[in-house]
Amino acid sequence: MTSRHNHARSAPRRARVGVRAGVVGGLLVACMAPALSAQSALDTSRRTAIVAAVERLAPAVVSISVAARQRVAVRSSWADMFVPRYASQLVRGSGTGFLIRGNGVILTNQHVVAGAEQITVTLVDGTQLPATLVGGDPVSDIAVIQVKGRGLPTVPLGKSSELMVGEWVVALGNPYADYLGNTEPTVTAGVVSATGRNILPSEGQAGLYLDMIQTDAAINPGNSGGPLANALGQVVGVNSSILSNSGGSIGLGFAIPIERALRVADLLLAVGAVRRAWTGLDVTPPRNFETWRASNGLVVVSVAPGGPAARAGIQPQDVLVSANGRTLHNHLDWESVKLDLGVGDTVILVTRRGTTRATRALLASDLPTRNAARVTVLEDLQLVTVTPAIRAERGVQSDQGALVVSIAPRTADATGLREGDVIIGLDRRRVATATDLSVFLDDLRPGESFRIWVERNGQTAYTDLVYR
């Protein structure tokens, strides 16, 4: 009885406890649902467009290591007597690139691979592959290298022309790759600070950084050649340069527009070089910093006889107001138009002559030096005869002479000559043509000394050499 009584009393208690437990369990479930929802929302908020863009890009970004030979001066009190004045040493550098074709074609900066004797590419998974240089263009600072492969990941491509100032962009690269063990690219984010930026050229600068994309995304040494992409993960530029007093990023990074980079890459893949177009006119050069600023057009100072500008009806003292719809505020605006101009392209110019405006179509042609007959002397020194067209193309002051269009490094070291020099005399003999110099050199005997006269940057100089 008692046990039954106890059982009878305990049953409802258990039931009540069970009900309570059920209620508590219901509360737990009810409380967990918002928690899970919040976690899901947090995960969603973390997976931003930037994260998605990086996931699309990163597999196709590569690290580039190069070994290049650098010319250095020999510091020795005996240098003049027993030791060559210059020697070469092997230096190593690094940069970034990205795959644009599944067969291993990689886009990067020319300055990353310039002079490289050996190029090694490291993929994102750590695979190291030897690369070959397809071609490079110092003027645009774009180069193409290639590794052996099939079905390799490639980057999505966008259009820099559609960029909006203020929109998000990401820069991927391998800064200080020699000091970091991982092979995945690093990521920095920022906004498009400006477009169409022209960077004033510095002394000795080979590349023309015109119409650049400016960003405050951090770009550091080793980022060169890497992609700048929009929030959709589409590449819109090639990270190339920074403005900095320290060498590190201060929020002033610049990228080459992807359209220009791809146009150069296509030419390098097709013919191994970029054919620069010729307009056949020169405009007033800037004399100081202030003249780079806005003006009311550019004054034509010379027109090559029979050249593209002459055929378009342009005359000296005409003012170039715009080109292809772009207002020409300063000299760099015109250089930017020419940088993207190909042989056979037409540029629509608005000119002003006095108070009269006119629209003229200028058909760009090959540079005169490209089609000129070449004479080779000293085994690897190529010359062309100076003509009126070549004078206009190169800004040569001398009306006669032999223009150096190609010279091997060893010959340049031995003679002091460099590309662009105009040889105008040998001893007391006038050099009127490239053939003249070849004949004069043939007359020399081994061990005979001679003096060679050149025009360089509008100035006349000479150097004494010994024929061997």
Query: Which positions are annotated as active-site residues?
Result: 111, 141, 224
Are β-strands 402-407 and 375-377 bridged in parallel, bridged antiparallel, or unpaired? unpaired
State the CB neighbour count (10 A cutoff) for residue 194: 14
Q: Is 400 exposed, middle or buried (0-12, 13-18, 19+ CB in 10 A)?
A: middle
Amino acid letter for position 88: S
Q: Is 337 exposed, middle or buried (0-12, 13-18, 19+ CB in 10 A)?
A: buried
Amino acid letter for position 356: T
Closest CA to 210 of 327, 61, 337: 337
Element (H, E) at 459: strand 459-466
Structure tokens at 69: 């030979």
State the CB neighbour count (10 A cutoff) for residue 138: 15
Q: What is the distance between the alpha carbons of residues 157 and 257, in angstroms, rounded to a whole number?
A: 11
Structure tokens at 395: 């800004």
Q: What is the distance between the alpha carbons of residues 148 and 128, in angstroms, rounded to a whole number?
A: 11
Structure tokens at 153: 């990941």
Q: Do residues 97 and 129 lie in contact, with contact meaning Cβ atoms separated by under 8 Å?
A: no
Q: What is the distance between the alpha carbons of residues 35 and 23, in angstroms, rounded to a whole number?
A: 19
Beta partners for residue 235, in sequence order: 157, 229
E runs forming strands in 180-297 = 186-197, 212-215, 227-230, 235-242, 253-257, 277-278, 281-283
DSSP for residue 157: B
Q: What is the distance between the alpha carbons of residues 403 and 433, in angstroms, rounded to a whole number?
A: 9
14-49: b or e for each residue (b if 16 or more CB lie within 10 Å)? eeeeeeeeeeeeeeeeeeeeeeeeeeeeeeeeeeee
